[in-house]
Chains A and B, each alone.
Chain A
Amino acid sequence: MSAAASQARRRALVCLVGAALPWRARAQALQAPAGTVVLSIGGRIQRANQGERAALDMPMLEALAQRSFTTKTPWFKEPRKFTGPLLRDVLNLVGAQGAMLRIAALNDYRIDVPVDDTRRFDVVLARMIDDKAITVREKGPLFMIYPFDSDATLRNPLYYSRSVWQLKSIDVL
């Protein structure tokens, strides 16, 4: 990816976020989590509720528009149904402004994912598999999943490696 292209993309994102925020984000400050925090978002975000970071619990994620799809994955023998908010909605919620997401899992697995992925693909932050909440044993509680079955370009090790399970935190770079 050329520098010019990534810059253009960044500018586009800024416009998009800037247009959405003024009446929604600034007016309503991010509420504090009521239950167990399942996701912590930091870095270049505009709204936080725990110091510099935004701490989200399950109900907050559940309150966003939910999306479901069924896809085959390398981690399960059968196709599974994944349900949860779109990752880009979650990023909008906290007013993320970066181009790169550093994503970490419970076992300290870490990977950098371009924000662009969330616009090009309907990346879902799944909180349910087959309509059931996901336990840690089953790679929960949050499973970042790409719609592998709907796009052949996704079915390669690059996107498999970006599909982070037991997702713990996101840092916007």
Chain B
Amino acid sequence: MATEVDRRVVASARSPLSGWFIASGVVLIVSLLAAFFVQARQQALLQQAVQGQDDYLVLNLFQFETEYLRLRERWRQAAADPTTAREQLQLRYDIFISRIGLLQTERAQRVLSDSPEYGSAQRAIRDFVDRSDLYLGQSAQAPFSSASLKALLADLEALDAPVHQMLLAGAHRVALQVASRSDTIAQHNRVGLALTVFLSAMVGLFGYLALRRMRQLDDSRRALEAMANHLNDAREQALRASQAKSEFLTNMSHAIRTPFHGMLGMLALLRESRLDARQQELLRTAVDSADHLLGLLNDIVDLSKLEAGTLTLDERDVELEPLLREVERMMRASADAKALQLSLTIDPALPLRARVDGARLRQVLTNLVANAIRFTHHGSVKLAARVVPAAAGSGPRLQLVVSDTGVGMSAETAARLFERSHLPVRGGARDPMQQGSGLGLEVAHRLVRLMQGDITVESTLGQGSVFRVALPLQTGGEPAAAVAAPVAPPVPEPTRARHVLVAEDNAVNRLFLAALLDRMGHSAHFVENGLEALQAVQEHHFDIVLMDVHMPVMDGIAATEAIRQLNFSAPLPIVALTADAYADTRTRCLAAGMDDVLVKPLGLPELEGLFQRRFGAASPPGEAARAAQTIGAGVALLDPKVLARLIELMPRAEAARLYESLLTQAGDATERMRRALRDADTDELRRVSHGLKGAALNLGLHALADAAGRLSASASSTSASQLALALQRFDETLVATRALCATEPELLTTPGAA
């Protein structure tokens, strides 16, 4: 369709029609000029005829003959009867003479001069007048006798023939002239007529060509319109299709995530069961792949929300440094796995808090650092945060720089890095797992844009890349504990067994939650939808309800609203379980009367944190407590007395370095212990944890030492799952310790950590 139209448009543009058009126009103009010329000639001829008074010449000749005849009559009467009044004769004579002059005009001369009749008549008339004037002239010389009257009458009568001949000659001459002029006019008329016919034909042709041209233009206009409509339709169709696909993708991602979370939970439980080395290895690969897949799904959901514009930022006052340290902590394992140095540098001028969406900022930084680690094979990955002072046209900005010494990329790749269609191929990486989907970068880019910021990349092939995120820096306002909370994990308390109602439609998730709650020593009652939950709370007493938001029959929000209408006398906390961590979901849950929102995937720490928040240390001691969970209870992270002693012994900078190296060592140790646990190498686990315990004690890091001690003590005696949990505690304690050390004023001489 489109090509056909194109051809037609092109054809009409090149058509010889326009040539014909011009040619016929020229011919038309020429014929018009010719017609004008002919008409001008006719006008001139007519003018000539009018001025020449041709017709009047003949009339004059006739009148002359009439006057002649009247004079002759009068003269005969006078001759016959001399008594008649002479005045009458005189008048006739004078009139006759006045007529002679008219025969001698220029025009008369021209027409008649070569006519012999004219010449002889003129001579005869002149002779007669000459003779008559003797008696009848103005100065008459002789009396007019009867005899002379009679004699002159004979002369007068002799004029009969010449006068008549002259009349006939003149009439014939004029008739001839009129005929010849008529011929000329007729000829001109014929030419004019021919020209008119030709002109009409040309006008017809011209009109036809113009009409055809117009019709062609009309056709091509219609064709273009049709094409435009067609394209418009196609565009709308494509848009609709794209929208439908986006929706499908979003729906599918959501749908996949739910069973997937269950699968992840099962994998986590499986990891804690007794597995041989081969099974551990297989499990690790499965977990890695699952993590990767979950990341992809999250990216897709985020992207579709970003595209649809439904993603809203949950901006609160967030403590920046713990957030950055958490990113570092989260990424350390993968950096360590590739033997890369991961460092965090924080500008001392960085404000304590800033107004950002902490979760989203963490997502951006994690994406960028993960990306850097993925494309760096040796060297280092650095994360740095600084404040760019307010400049003209913009306020102060928070700049976050992720630089690596990786494979880098070419300028073209860098230029198209944030585009969807572009899968970055860097340094010849072919393994899709290693290469990444590129979605993470796009998500990061769009998120930063949503935060009114910008993200730029600088890279040299083979020498590494630098990603710079610049965000408007807003400080002040109320501090928010929500994001800072995970950085300093609550030290778990021994917990009393609680009666928990779990409303969850997904069987795998139910199984997973059952395992978790069982491990925590709580008793759980399961229902599969909101309506059952509503019935259950009326039949039994529960300490807390865990409510999935999306359920068949009655969803979590409706169920919560219904439960709140029952107006129980005792408080019943209801906690939402949802897969989306977005502000709007959270708001809806809280508005419905829920007390808290937990985001899937849920792990033991999250659940424990929840119970800690809900029931806290107020729980009576002596309840079913578990050795693995009692790490560091009531134990100080950093003993200020030990620190003070140390600072007395050595310069403050050196003390800080000491703490730094221990924390680095502890980070390494975590990885080593993880590997040992995975490989079921309890000796290694004990060795490492024991060594660390001693070092930590020396520096007054009691909580860390405690956690390490528990690992060391139970290395060979407890189950792998309990060891994993203890290791998790250790790791969290390490993060908390690191955060504390970073903010400890006595150790602030060297900002930042290893």
Contacts and interface: CB of A to CB of B under 8 A. Distances in A.
Interface of A: 74-75, 77, 106-107, 109, 135-139, 156-157, 160, 166
Given A107-B67, A157-B50, A160-B53, A75 B91 contact: no
B54 to A, nearest CB: 10
A138 B53 CA distance: 20
Interface stretch (B93-101, B298-306, B718-726): B93-101
A156 B91 CA distance: 30
B95 A106 contact: yes
B98 A136 contact: yes
A137 B50 contact: no
Point out which of B67, B98, B99, B105 has the most chain A C-beta atoms below 10 A from its C-beta: B98
Contacts of B717: none
Given A107-B63, A135-B138, A136-B91, A74 B53 contact: yes
A138 B50 contact: no
Contacts, number: 38
**Main SS class of interface, B:** helix
Nearest to B102: A75
Contacts of B67: 107
- Smallest CB-CB A-B distances: 8 pairs: A136-B94, A137-B97, A137-B94, A137-B98, A139-B98, A107-B95, A106-B95, A74-B53
A83 B682 CA distance: 154
Interface in B194-221: none
Given A75-B102, A77-B106, A107-B63, A135 B94 contact: yes
B91 A106 contact: yes
Contacts of A136: 91, 94-95, 98
A106 B87 CA distance: 14
Contact of A166 (B55, B56, B70, B95): B95
Nearest to B66: A107
Nearest to A140: B98
B140 to A, nearest CB: 13
B671 to A, nearest CB: 120
Contacts of B106: 77
A132 to B, nearest CB: 12
Interface string B60-75: 0001001100100000
Contacts of B94: 135-137
Contacts of A75: 101-102, 105
Nearest to B106: A77
A156 B95 CA distance: 25
A109 B102 CA distance: 15
Contacts of A135: 94, 138
Interface string B17-58: 000000000000000000000000000000000100101100
7 contacts: A74-B53, A107-B66, A135-B138, A136-B94, A157-B55, A160-B53, A166-B95
Nearest to A75: B102
Nearest to B97: A137
Given A77-B106, A107-B67, A135-B138, A157 B53 contact: yes
Nearest to A109: B63
A77 B138 CA distance: 23
B181 to A, nearest CB: 16
Interface in B630-664: none
Contacts of B97: 137
Contacts of A160: 53, 56
A156 B51 CA distance: 8
Given A107-B99, A166-B95, 4 more contacts: A77-B105, A77-B106, A107-B63, A135-B138
A156 B98 contact: no
Interface string B691-717: 000000000000000000000000000
Nearest to A74: B53
Nearest to B107: A74
B102 A156 contact: no
A164 to B, nearest CB: 13
Contacts of A107: 63, 66-67, 70, 95, 99
Contacts of A106: 91, 95
A35 B726 CA distance: 164
B318 to A, nearest CB: 102
Point out which of A74, A106, A137, A138 has the most chain B C-beta atoms below 10 A from its C-beta: A137
Point out which of B53, B55, B66, B94 has the most chain A C-beta atoms below 10 A from its C-beta: B94
B65 to A, nearest CB: 12
Nearest to B63: A107
A139 B60 CA distance: 14
Contacts of A156: 50
Nearest to B52: A74
A157 to B, nearest CB: 6
A166 B102 CA distance: 14
A107 B99 CA distance: 10
